[in-house]
Amino acid sequence: EFITVSDLAEELEVKPTDVITTCMNLGMMVSINQRLDASTIELVAAEYDFDVEFVDAEEMIEEEIEVEEDKPEDLEPRAPIITVMGHVDHGKTSLLDYIRKAKVAAGEAGGITQHVGAYEVVTDDDKKITFLDTPGHEAFTAMRSRGAQATDIVILVVAADDAVMPQTIEAINHAKAAGVSIVVAINKMDKPEANPDKIKQQLSEHGVIVEEYGGTNQVALVSAETGDGIDDLLEKVLIEAELLELKANPNRLAQGIVLESRIDKGKGTVANILVQNGTLKVGDPFVAGPVFGRVRAMENEHGTRLQDAGPSTPVQLIGFDGTPQAGDRLIVPKDEKTAKEVANQRQQIRREQSLRRVKHMTLDDLSRRMALGEVSELNIIIKADVDGSIEALSGALQKLSTEEVSVNIIHTGSGAITESDVLLASASDGIIIGFQVRPTAGARKLAETESIDIRLFSVIYDAVDEVHDALEGMLSPEI
């Protein structure tokens, strides 16, 4: 079913009552707000000598805001965008605070006065780095689960007087699932009991291997308290950025991402935006998710009004017609008309398809998707009661990889299935297997809204069997 009687009347430029009469003549009783199916629309339209073309609305939008690829010669280096991750109390906030105080205040009078979701650092040799304000892998993966990725490089903070902890491992796996580079900051080096070698050793067991161990991960020894080693850390971030060849084209219409948004009594919707490509200018019409807008004003983290904002610049922006969500993409189309149209279409699609969620991978669905050639990998998160069962399960499941589908264990951990596991599954289109553990109440709820397949087992053989059957196409697909 597509549009309503009144929508159709508008398209045909007749009165809704005319459409109702036409339908009656065709033997159908319809009301003004009733949705008509395709064949009825065609019949009615034919009465008015209209041809009907059905276009997939989403495809249409894709087309309309299809963003041209940049030519290599138009690309210029851009600042890397950083998220700080690590176990609780290992010093993420302290590190962000130190860098903000030491590196930002230097150039700009007044320092940071405005929360714009991120801030820009200028190093001694005049290179820029953009730090996202919200540390931790949860925020990072929540953004990804909405289809948005803002981060280029993760700084993984590990306290030198502690050890690689469960959330360190989560951070590693979340960063890896996103394909983001990791630079290690071994923090709290001012403490007498600091033991960086132990940390490097433990990190290597989790696939983060520093150069002196033959790997490619850069590591800096720092103290967020004294500031020792921070310059070295920033330098290593820049080296990593150079390797990644991060580039953007400042001379095009802007594309960005909504980091946060809120409603301000005086200003209306205020959103923090990270410009990812192009240059955003005051006066530009834009569409952010389903929301139309026109850039009324932009401010940076110093409260300075900006006329334009180039790649990797975080800004606070006003001028929205509605309120977008974190993770929504902001695009400046070629003209205001297109921006409005796209916003309208998206609103309509969201209204009509509010029930249509992104369908995530389920074991039952695997065979069907395999038959369609849609899947080449099955991402699995394993949570179990003890390390022994995790090892046994991941070993056995990995061996189930076939020529068509490789089984990837993207994260494992002991303890209950948490919301962060569900977010990772959502961001990576994976499933979760719990062995002798259960989801927390929050995780269960989130799994429901995100439609994530959580399978609970108490016998390893059963888990292996079920995944095997799914891979062999032996589970009957869910209707």
10, HSE (Cβ side, Cα atoms, 13 Å): 7
**Nearer to ligand GDP among residue 93 and residue 202 (C-beta):** 93
As a dihedral over the C-alpha atoms of residue 325, residue 331, residue 334, residue 335, rounded to 10 degrees, the angle is 20
**Nearer to ligand GDP among residue 90 and residue 383 (C-beta):** 90
Would you state the structure tokens that stand for residue 114, as one six-digit string?
Answer: 């405005």
Contact 163, 119 (CB under 8 A): no
**Nearer to ligand GDP among residue 188 and residue 346 (C-beta):** 188
Residue set of the binding site: 86-93, 133-137, 187-190
Would you state the structure tokens that stand for residue 301, as one six-digit string?
Answer: 């983290």
* Beta carbon of residue 88, minimum distance to ligand GDP (angstroms, whole number): 5
Taking Cα atoms as reference points, which of 53, 16, 50, 15 lies closest to residue 33?
16
* Residue 260 φ/ψ, nearest 5 degrees: -155, 160
The binding site for ligand GDP (CB under 6 A) comprises 86, 88-94, 187-188, 190-191, 223-225
**Nearer to ligand GDP among residue 41 and residue 84 (C-beta):** 84
Q: Measured on CA atoms in the order 407, 413, 414, 415, is the torsion positive or negative?
A: negative
Contact 130, 82 (CB under 8 A): yes
Stated as kind and residue range, the H or E segment containing 409 is: strand 406-414
Please tell me the distance from the alpha carbon of residue 389 to that of residue 377, in angstroms, as a whole number: 23
* Beta carbon of residue 153, minimum distance to ligand GDP (angstroms, whole number): 18
* Beta carbon of residue 234, minimum distance to ligand GDP (angstroms, whole number): 16
**Nearer to ligand GDP among residue 119 and residue 435 (C-beta):** 119
* Beta carbon of residue 111, minimum distance to ligand GDP (angstroms, whole number): 19
Please tell me the distance from the alpha carbon of residue 412 to that of residue 110, in angstroms, as a whole number: 45
* Beta carbon of residue 312, minimum distance to ligand GDP (angstroms, whole number): 24
Please tell me the distance from the alpha carbon of residue 68 to that of residue 70, in angstroms, as a whole number: 6
* Beta carbon of residue 99, minimum distance to ligand GDP (angstroms, whole number): 12
Taking Cα atoms as reference points, which of 142, 162, 158, 151 lies closest to residue 87?
158
**Nearer to ligand GDP among residue 22 and residue 223 (C-beta):** 223
Residue set of the binding site for GTP: 86-93, 133-137, 187-190
Please tell me the distance from the alpha carbon of residue 238 to that of residue 334, in angstroms, as a whole number: 34
**Nearer to ligand GDP among residue 218 and residue 223 (C-beta):** 223
* Beta carbon of residue 84, minimum distance to ligand GDP (angstroms, whole number): 8
Q: Which amino acid is at 246?
A: L
